[in-house]
């Protein structure tokens, strides 16, 4: 079949702005959208079949937004169940190989645009399905047969999205059983380097890819299926810091694959040397200095956070592969991790979360904390947040009461002298019985006093 458009990796970075857009599929204006990959038995697949349930592009109005489902079914003798997530994540990559088509995000949150130019050339979803089948089969030869269904029908999409969400949940639950300690290998993902060239996503059993679509199991399956692809194994190497989650092997790979831009990476802290953020992360954590706590906001929440900035602006500050202290892109699933920001106090440090996100991970919030974490109903600015936390006796309130006494100052001076003027914050904090941020407060005070430079 002759396609009326070109395909190839050269189109990957292509952005379609509103003025150049013919239609939008999925995205923030429509509620129901999702993509899903399923592994099937060989006789269940009609190789090369493309079906469109609902209007195709030709029946859509210019400038409109439509519900969108992409359903990929594959079979292959060597395919294992953990490959479903991997195949599904590749939908993003291969859709972007299509000239005039843009695909953002993943899972239940896809956002696609078709350009006016592509429409003029005769683009439709039937062709697009053919292009995807061609790309998948050439890039992932272990796929033997494949069929694609697009869903644009208002009614059909509802059931499809519900089913997709159930599948994601089952997959994530399978991955939760493992820990970082019991494996020797982690996995890296470089898929987002097309727009965030220094970003290296580290996937461990207790830290999913930031986009929330590749678990450790899926990372492993991906490297087996496509050793030349964007995922590869990392020997975790020596454990340098068990609390922060720093591994020699991870540092080495991050440094190499970011061209020396990032030299160290803490897997479980947003301070010091945090994991870099790409651009497709599901949510992000942001430090709120006024309350010494951490807020979390997810992509779908478009209002301002209590610091007066919405998700989009926070995302712009940290995205693109930068290592940004105090703002960290992450998967929503990461909030279920036993190691969730453990170096920063974990859940005890979380002070604000949109109620929709809070509901989604309700069962992961430790007992006694649920009522103490504010949502947009409780706090919309710093003052109301402070008042709420105080009223609920949130654990961060204890941090506010920390006082830099003369005794503490003297203790620190003595310690610095004993160490010949050179101290390591982590060791010093331990030695003095302080947390690292308490230590920072004492150091700051000594600076103000002119005792330290
Ligand atoms: Zn990403």
Compute the average pLDDT of residues 447-452. Answer: 85
Q: Is the pLDDT of residue 453 over 80?
A: no
Predicted pLDDT of residue 227:
85
* Cα 197 from chain centre: 16
Q: Work out the pLDDT band at 359, boundaries 50, 70, 90.
A: very high
* 425 Cα: distance to centroid of ligand 1 (angstroms): 32
Quote the crossing angle between the two packed helices 125-139 and 83-95, to the nearest 10°.
120
Compute the average pLDDT of residues 15-36. Answer: 96
Q: Work out the pLDDT band at 449, boundaries 50, 70, 90.
A: confident
Measured CA distances, 118 to 3, 36, 124, 187, 411 (Å): 11, 25, 9, 36, 70
Predicted pLDDT of residue 429:
87
Torsional sign, CA 341, 346, 351, 352: positive
pLDDT in tens, 91-103: 999 999 999 999 9
pTM over 0.75: yes
Q: Is the pLDDT of residue 194 over 90?
A: no
* 316 Cα: distance to centroid of ligand 1 (angstroms): 13
* 95 Cα: distance to centroid of ligand 1 (angstroms): 15
Q: Is the pLDDT of residue 57 over 80?
A: yes
* 188 Cα: distance to centroid of ligand 1 (angstroms): 11
Cα 267 to Cα 203: distance, rounded to the nearest angstrom: 9
Cα 95 to Cα 102: distance, rounded to the nearest angstrom: 7
* 186 Cα: distance to centroid of ligand 1 (angstroms): 17
* 100 Cα: distance to centroid of ligand 1 (angstroms): 21
The CATH number for 9-174, chosen from 3.30.465.10, 3.40.605.10, 3.40.50.2300, 3.30.1650.10, is 3.30.1650.10
Secondary structure letter of residue 20 according to DSSP: G
Residue bearing the bigger pLDDT, 440 or 48 = 48
* 108 Cα: distance to centroid of ligand 1 (angstroms): 15
| Sequence-ordered strand ranges (E) for 46-178 | 50-53, 65-66, 68-75, 101-104, 111-115, 145-151
Strands 246-247 and 239-241, by their bridges, are antiparallel
* 344 Cα: distance to centroid of ligand 1 (angstroms): 23
Cα 177 to Cα 399: distance, rounded to the nearest angstrom: 33
Strands 33-39 and 68-75, by their bridges, are parallel
Q: Is the pLDDT of residue 436 over 80?
A: no
Cα 136 to Cα 140: distance, rounded to the nearest angstrom: 6
* 394 Cα: distance to centroid of ligand 1 (angstroms): 33
| Sequence-ordered strand ranges (E) for 237-302 | 239-241, 246-247, 283-288, 293-298
Cα 50 to Cα 385: distance, rounded to the nearest angstrom: 51
> Measured in Å, how far apart are the chain's first and last C-alpha atoms?
71
Q: Which CATH class is domain 185-399?
A: alpha beta
Sequence ranges of the domains in the chain: 9-174, 185-399, 402-448
Residue 447's CB: how many other CB atoms inside 10 A? 11
Over pLDDT 70: what percentage of the chain? 100
pLDDT in tens, 315-342: 999 988 999 999 999 999 999 999 999 9
Cα 269 to Cα 179: distance, rounded to the nearest angstrom: 17
Cα 69 to Cα 52: distance, rounded to the nearest angstrom: 10
* 437 Cα: distance to centroid of ligand 1 (angstroms): 30
* 288 Cα: distance to centroid of ligand 1 (angstroms): 24
Mean of all residue pLDDT scores within the chain: 94
Predicted pLDDT of residue 398:
85
Predicted pLDDT of residue 293:
96
pLDDT in tens, 371-428: 999 999 999 999 999 999 999 999 999 888 888 889 999 999 999 999 888 888 888 8
């Amino acid at each position: 079949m002759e396609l009326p458009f070109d395909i190839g990796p050269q189109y990957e970075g292509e952005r379609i702005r509103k003025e150049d857009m013919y239609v939008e599929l999925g995205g923030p204006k429509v509620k129901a959208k999702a993509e899903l990959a399923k592994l099937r038995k060989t006789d269940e697949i009609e190789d090369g079949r493309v079906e469109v349930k609902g209007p195709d592009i030709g029946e859509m109005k210019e400038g409109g937004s439509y519900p969108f489902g992409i359903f990929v079914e594959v079979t292959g003798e060597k395919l294992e169940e953990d490959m479903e997530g991997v195949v599904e994540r590749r939908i993003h990559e291969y859709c972007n190989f299509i000239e005039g088509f843009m695909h953002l995000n993943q899972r239940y949150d896809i956002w696609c645009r078709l350009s006016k130019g592509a429409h003029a050339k005769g683009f439709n979803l039937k062709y697009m399905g053919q292009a995807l089948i061609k790309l998948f089969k050439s890039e992932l030869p272990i796929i033997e047969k494949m069929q694609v269904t697009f869903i644009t029908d208002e009614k059909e999409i509802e059931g499809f999205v519900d089913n997709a969400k159930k599948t994601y949940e089952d997959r994530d639950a399978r991955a939760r059983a493992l820990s970082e300690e019991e494996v020797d290998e982690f996995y890296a993902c470089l898929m987002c380097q097309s727009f965030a060239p220094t970003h290296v996503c580290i996937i461990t059993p207790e830290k999913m890819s930031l986009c929330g679509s590749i678990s450790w199991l899926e990372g492993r399956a991906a490297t087996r299926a496509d050793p030349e692809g964007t995922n590869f194994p990392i020997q975790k190497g020596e454990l340098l810091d068990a609390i922060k989650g720093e591994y020699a092997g991870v540092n080495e790979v991050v440094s190499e694959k970011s061209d020396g831009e990032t030299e160290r990476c803490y897997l479980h802290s947003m301070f010091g040397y945090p994991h870099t953020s790409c651009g497709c992360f599901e949510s992000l954590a942001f430090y709120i200095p006024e309350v010494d706590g951490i807020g979390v906001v997810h992509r779908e929440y478009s209002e301002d956070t209590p610091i007066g900035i919405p998700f989009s602006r926070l995302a712009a500050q940290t995205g693109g592969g930068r290592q940004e202290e105090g703002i960290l892109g992450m998967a929503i699933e990461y909030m279920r991790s036993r190691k969730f920001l453990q170096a920063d106090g974990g859940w005890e440090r979380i002070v604000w979360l949109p109620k929709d996100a809070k509901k989604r991970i309700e069962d992961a919030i430790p007992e006694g904390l649920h009522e103490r974490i504010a949502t947009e109903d409780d706090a919309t600015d710093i003052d109301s947040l402070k008042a709420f936390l105080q009223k609920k006796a949130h654990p961060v309130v204890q941090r506010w009461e920390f006082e830099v006494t003369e005794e503490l100052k003297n203790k620190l001076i003595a310690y610095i002298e004993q160490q010949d003027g050179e101290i390591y914050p982590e060791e010093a904090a331990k030695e003095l019985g302080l947390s690292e941020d308490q230590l920072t407060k004492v150091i700051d005070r000594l600076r103000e006093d002119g005792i330290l430079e």
